[in-house]
Structure 1
């Protein structure tokens, strides 16, 4: 099998609690073990939560620290990014914005874990964005009930 370049997207930096982190790490580690080149990108307009201060603020130092530690511990060092879309200039930690945009253009697949990744102009250059549900049943019930916002998003 040809080695693929895969981007996993989610919110484990901005919501650094055990269950959320696990939802993402098992995809990253599993895809790496299958031999793929895996990146984690959190590119969000949502403000991050800091569990040390119990605050939601526009500072993303804690989120970056968490992602850097996870990247080191789970072997995706130098293959992660946090982009703060809520701040002017879209500042990043980890990879620079130029590299993030390149990954969006060139990735074989982009996994939107839990559907938490908002779409933005940079991301929408890709036609290989896959929705990965982590809470089976919720979205399916919404579709069955005809919830238009869910249907449009998916």
Structure 2
């Protein structure tokens, strides 16, 4: 019997950081568990869209991206002939155009992960879903008259969003004229082994300080993580707990962070390989999940995909409340907070019964975020299976 085929469009090669890779690979793992053969595709959408870690620079040359895909994908069940990379000049590397067209003609569906990517060949597959991991930012871009986001997403019949509260009265994420299906991030627990945490391990965080210009929507300004982090920047001054932070992006106040007691690590080193990223998480006591201002202010219901990695590794999560407590219980394994007082209380509760929180963390990963379960529900919700 022929196995069904899913085409996943992602960004593993273009942004070869471990967290980015796992974002895609967890979805692939879920589809594989559900019995799908996966053909992986990347599309270069604009100049200098790819990061080359050797040169430490953005580049137009797809060579490193293609090499990285050839190294990583086979380790996660994608054979060398099962991925295609379409560069800006419409050259199709890896499995070439003839192979890709044949796959698209027979595929059950395309699932595009966060990438506002499109090429006309994708139309060969009639069922096409887009997964929005950046609620409010995506919808605001769709409403811009001078942008192409709405036109690109018009090619997708199904739109999922991590904005789990979209459509609720107090949620400020607009629908932008489309119907959205709420979903959540995924993790594949088989890739994460639970080890005992040292009592002296730090609570850690991985942050991109900024992600672009603030977004103006309906008279309000929505910002990035730096705007929320400023509210908690002196956290180490209020507790004896250690904190480790891998922070990237321009404008991060590294000197001030060190002076306030944050132990800074190089984000490129801990995310350079999947193994290094897993070791960093396993060497942590818990995750400190400070969210983008837009996710918090809009009451989006967003939950961090990075936090699901910590949960899968048996590490509890301290996560800023975005409204996700509507669907994810808080108090054991996941502890939500809205202000400094909440956060300090959550840290005290975490340390007072750490082993119970660690056990609950893995259980939450399996119950709420296991890739096969979440992806299976997505396919049922949109009628793809």
Of residues 105-114 and 56-65 in structure 1, the stretch that sits farther from structure 2 once superposed is 56-65
Q: Give the structure 1 partner of residue 67 of structure 2.
A: 65
State how far apart, in whole Å, the 1-side matches of 2:118 and 2:43 are: 9
Please report how far the alpha carbon of residue 45 of structure 1 lies from its aligned counterpart in structure 2 after TM superposition: 3.2
Distance (whole Å) between structure 1 residues aligned to residue 4 and residue 94 of structure 2: 21
- Kindly report which structure 2 residues correspond to 1:1-154, keeping only aligned pairs within 5 A, or say none: 3-46=3-46, 47=48, 48-78=50-80, 79-84=82-87, 86-87=88-89, 90-114=90-114, 116-139=115-138, 142=140, 147=144, 150-154=149-153
The 1:81/1:72 distance shift into structure 2, 3 A limit, reads same
What stretches of structure 2 of length at least 5 have no aligned partner? 154-385
The answer (yes or no) to whether the contact 2:3–2:37 under 8 Å persists in 1 is yes
Q: Deviations along 1:47-76, whole A, 9 cap, x unmatched?
A: 422122122333211101111111121011
Structure-2-length-normalised TM-score: 0.35
Query: Aligned equivalents of 1:20 and 1:37: distance in 2?
Result: 21
Judging changes above 3 Å, is the alpha-carbon distance between structure 1 residues 117 and 102 closer, same or farther for their aligned structure 2 residues? farther
What is the distance in 1 between the residues matched to 2:3 and 2:136? Answer: 32
Cα 1:51–1:108 change in 2 (3 A) is: same
CA contact (8 A) 2:118 2:152 kept: no
After superposition, the Cα gap between the structure-2 partners of 1:127 and 1:22, relative to the gap in structure 1 and judged at 3 Å, is: same
Aligned-partner Cα distance in 2 for 1:44–1:60: 8
Helix, strand or coil at the partner of 2:120: coil
CA distance in 2, matches of 1:92, 1:62: 15
**Cα distance change on mapping 1:136 and 1:3 into 2, 3 Å:** farther
What are the ranges of 5 or more consecutive residues in structure 1 without an aligned counterpart?
none
1:115-144 Cα deviation digits (max 9, x unpaired): x1422221223321101122345435x39x
- TM-fit CA distance, 1:146: 5.1
Radius of gyration: which is bigger? 2
Determine if contact 1:23/1:134 at 8 Å carries over to the other structure: no
| Higher RCO structure, 1 or 2 (CA under 8 Å, sep 6+) | 1
Q: How much has 1:101 moved relative to structure 2?
A: 1.7
- TM norm structure 1: 0.81
